[in-house]
Structure 1
Amino acid sequence: MTEGIVAIGECMLELSGQTGHSWRMGFGGDTFNTLWTIRALSESDNVDYVSAFGDDPFSQDQIAFFRENDIGIAKSPIIPGARPGLYAITLKGAERSFTYWRGDAAARQLASNPAALAKSLEQRTLVYFSGITLAILDAPSRRTLLQAISAARAHGSHIAFDPNYRPRLWPDAATARAVIDEGLKITDIALPTFTDEQELYGDASPEATARRLEEIGVAEIAVKNGEGAALISHYEDMFTVPASHVAEPLDTTGAGDAFNGGYLSARLLGLPPKEAARRAHHVAAAVVQIRGALAPFDILQLAFDL
């Protein structure tokens, strides 16, 4: 029987701008942000973040932070001499931009031990990964990861995937399309963002995105569209769910990741896709009203229950 939840990817050191030249350090990264939301909302007591970590003080602090919030690291390797990546958030109004230092980050070695990776994914209710997870890996490591995820799916895990296209992480768009399509072929629930799909695939509308993913074989799709309605396709039953309006957002960092976490948490609880999307919008709306990617658990829980 499957149990527990795992997300795969890169959790980085996060610097968020405060007043003047002061910065606040935290932790964040697309798949970790989603897992954080799931940890807040899920009834599971077996939640792990699968990556690779260094042995430096920042990596030790990161793992300790996970542990304090009941998030494990399964069989993730500890790489001697490695360290986490770093990003800084700068804001113009509520809109954010990012500067990254991640070229030699430990997470790029998350598939360096195929047996440990496979063990980390064993007996999971849900396995979650993203296009960024794939983009930070070299080609052999991508194959190792996709094989491990496919094996987990064959043994009963549900696979959720956010294509999360970031052009600067890929050598070219053709490579990104080919690799992301491979990820979609082993996906049960896809959580794309329309603007990403439009840029990478030329989709004319969220409906076009959903139809393309249906043709690949994805049974459940939630297409995010910023402040617009989310388009849901569930076994080709297609409908929209309006977003929750926030009059004055403070920081939009992590909003899409929070939507993903809210949606997946609701589905894990057995709620139907329409209700899952409604709750996911509420969770995303709560996150844009705090600074940084990670909202306190109580804020996420209150939003989810609205």
Structure 2
Amino acid sequence: MAGNGVASIGECMIELSGQEGPSWRMGFAGDTFNTLWALHALSGDRPATYVSAFGDDPFSQGQIGFFAENGIGIGKSPVISGARPGLYAITLTGSERSFTYWRGDAAARQLASDPAALAKNLENQALVYFSGITLAILDDAARKTLLAAVAGARAAGSLVAFDPNYRPRLWHSPEAARAAILDALAVTDIALPTFPDEQMLFGDTAPQATAQRLARLVGEVVVKNGEEPALIAEKGAMQPVPAVHVAAPVDTTGAGDSFNGGYLAARLAGHAPAEAALRAHRVAAAVVQVRGALAPFETLRAAFED
């Protein structure tokens, strides 16, 4: 039976964001953690677990401590001797960002190394969330272990949400990405794709094509498309939900991830998909007005309830 908690599976990295001059600010972020951050902020007293694998170095210790300070646990995620977290740096041109990564030997690639611990982390969760990046950092065997654990949680009553979040550099080939994403969609209740990603990987000509294709596989689909309306496909119908325009965005890092967190928090609270998307757009608009991927909890809550 599903419980009250929320769990997100993936890789949280060290984030370096540029400041004025040669200085850099260090934080912690990654697509599935960014979503959990927003989901946790907006979900009241639901226990939050970030499911990954961690090193035993000072940066990993700092990462786990940062989670704990903000009410997020790691459950039974393995802590691996000699391993360390991945790293990325954000550079900005105006508000648009680009990323440089150092993550080839990141501890998170071993998140499925203990199948029993992984399955235990997904027990008694109201919601389990993961992404295409979660899939991409794993080898084939680990990917199968992950999807088996997710399927087990779903069979036990957990709602499963998935963002395909296609990043070409993480995959050996588009064919491998397509196959893995289709396997993930087979155990998914809510799909949260981004149209440009789907266009790149599957050749969709418009958000409606993405929604139609995925609606044949998943009961609830929300196609994100930047500042364009999100498109909801559910129960045979489609509904666009306008985005919130931000005249002068500061940093678009984490906007889509935070949309996901806002949408899932609203759905868990009982809001209908269209209302959930409206709230999610407001959350994403708040996030692009701060630097880095993680907005303060108070900022997220104010946007969600506005």
Partners in 2 of 1:106 and 1:95 — Cα distance?
29
Q: Retained in 2: the 8 A contact 1:34–1:260? A: yes
- Residue in 2 aligned with 1:93? 94
- In angstroms, what is the RMSD of aligned CA positions? 0.6
Structure 2 SS opposite 1:187? coil
* 2:288 paired with 1:294: no
Partners in 2 of 1:236 and 1:291 — Cα distance?
39
Structure 2 SS opposite 1:125? strand
1:234: how far off?
1.6
AA at the equivalent of 1:131: G
- Residue in 2 aligned with 1:228? 228
- Residue in 1 aligned with 2:262? 262
- Residue in 2 aligned with 1:167? 168
Deviations 1:219-257 (A, max 9, x none): 001100001000001222210000000000000000000
- Residue in 2 aligned with 1:69? 70
Structure 1 SS opposite 2:240? strand
Q: For 1:47-86, what aligned pairs fall within 5 Å after superposition?
A: 47-86=48-87
Between 41-50 and 245-254, the greater mean CA deviation after superposition? 41-50
Partners in 2 of 1:231 and 1:38 — Cα distance?
21
1:214: how far off?
1.4
Structure 1 unmatched ranges of 5 or more: none
1:43: how far off?
2.1
Q: Retained in 2: the 8 A contact 1:219–1:236? A: no
Structure 2 unmatched ranges of 5 or more: none
Q: For 1:214-253, what aligned pairs fall within 5 Å after superposition?
A: 214-216=215-217, 218-253=218-253
Structure 1 SS opposite 2:251? coil
- Residue in 2 aligned with 1:281? 281
Partners in 2 of 1:144 and 1:128 — Cα distance?
15
Structure 2 SS opposite 1:176? helix
1:123: how far off?
1.1
AA at the equivalent of 2:38: T
1:45: how far off?
3.2
TM-score (norm 1): 0.99
AA at the equivalent of 1:164: N
Deviations 1:162-214 (A, max 9, x none): 00000000000000000000000110000000000000000011111011111
- Residue in 2 aligned with 1:13? 14
Deviations 1:69-96 (A, max 9, x none): 0000011000000000000000000000
Partners in 2 of 1:83 and 1:236 — Cα distance?
46
Partners in 2 of 1:5 and 1:37 — Cα distance?
12
Partners in 2 of 1:45 and 1:265 — Cα distance?
10
Q: Retained in 1: the 8 A contact 2:215–2:234? A: no
Structure 1 SS opposite 2:72? coil
Partners in 2 of 1:33 and 1:48 — Cα distance?
13
Structure 1 SS opposite 2:45? coil
Structure 1 residue ranges (4+ consecutive) displaced by more than 4 angstroms after TM superposition: none
Q: Retained in 2: the 8 A contact 1:111–1:141? A: yes
Partners in 2 of 1:290 and 1:38 — Cα distance?
18
Partners in 1 of 2:186 and 2:147 — Cα distance?
10
Identity %: 69
- Residue in 2 aligned with 1:142? 143
Q: Retained in 2: the 8 A contact 1:5–1:44? A: no
Q: For 1:18-37, what aligned pairs fall within 5 Å after superposition?
A: 18-37=19-38
Structure 2 SS opposite 1:76? coil
1:44: how far off?
3.4
- Residue in 2 aligned with 1:177? 178
1:293: how far off?
0.0
Partners in 1 of 2:45 and 2:128 — Cα distance?
13
- Residue in 1 aligned with 2:131? 130
Q: Retained in 1: the 8 A contact 2:34–2:293? A: yes
Partners in 2 of 1:162 and 1:215 — Cα distance?
16
Partners in 1 of 2:191 and 2:75 — Cα distance?
24
Partners in 2 of 1:68 and 1:234 — Cα distance?
38
